[in-house]
């Protein structure tokens, strides 16, 4: 089972996907999900655990917030673009739907 860290900004964009719905989508596909809201204090502590993949669900601010943490790791990551502009995801070619990311 693939273990993923799911970093989510619950207020990104139109806030269509809440935490429980987002987690359920990943878990229903067989992933072992460790969810962290980037709005909560201490979200970065999850980086003490090993993961097979990191998913960033949010917009440009969420991606920018996680970028320094991702730069020091070799864990693959993908962006689930939930923001308004999604310039980071667009420039990295990661403008995939929820279904495609999962």
> Tens of pLDDT along 60-100?
999 999 999 999 899 999 999 998 889 999 999 999 888 88
Query: Is residue 62 classed exposed, middle or buried when 0-12, 13-18 and 19+ CB atoms within 10 A define those classes?
Result: buried
Question: What pLDDT shows up at residue 98?
Answer: 86
Distance of alpha carbon 35 from alpha carbon 78, whole angstroms: 15
Distance of alpha carbon 3 from alpha carbon 93, whole angstroms: 23
Question: What pLDDT shows up at residue 26?
Answer: 95
> Tens of pLDDT along 17-70?
888 999 999 999 999 999 999 999 999 999 899 999 999 999 999 999 999 999
The model carries a pTM of: 0.90
Answer whether CATH 3.40.50.10330 is correct for domain 3-101. Answer: yes
């Amino acid at each position: 089972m693939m273990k993923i860290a799911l970093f989510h900004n619950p207020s990104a964009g139109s806030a269509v996907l809440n935490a429980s719905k987002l987690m359920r989508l990943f878990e229903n596909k067989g992933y072992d999900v460790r969810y962290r809201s980037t709005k909560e204090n201490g979200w970065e502590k999850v980086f003490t655990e090993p993961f097979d993949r990191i998913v960033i669900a949010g917009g440009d601010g969420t991606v920018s917030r996680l970028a320094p943490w991702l730069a020091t790791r070799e864990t693959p990551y993908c962006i689930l673009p939930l923001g308004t502009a999604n310039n980071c995801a667009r420039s990295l070619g990661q403008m995939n739907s929820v279904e495609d990311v999962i």
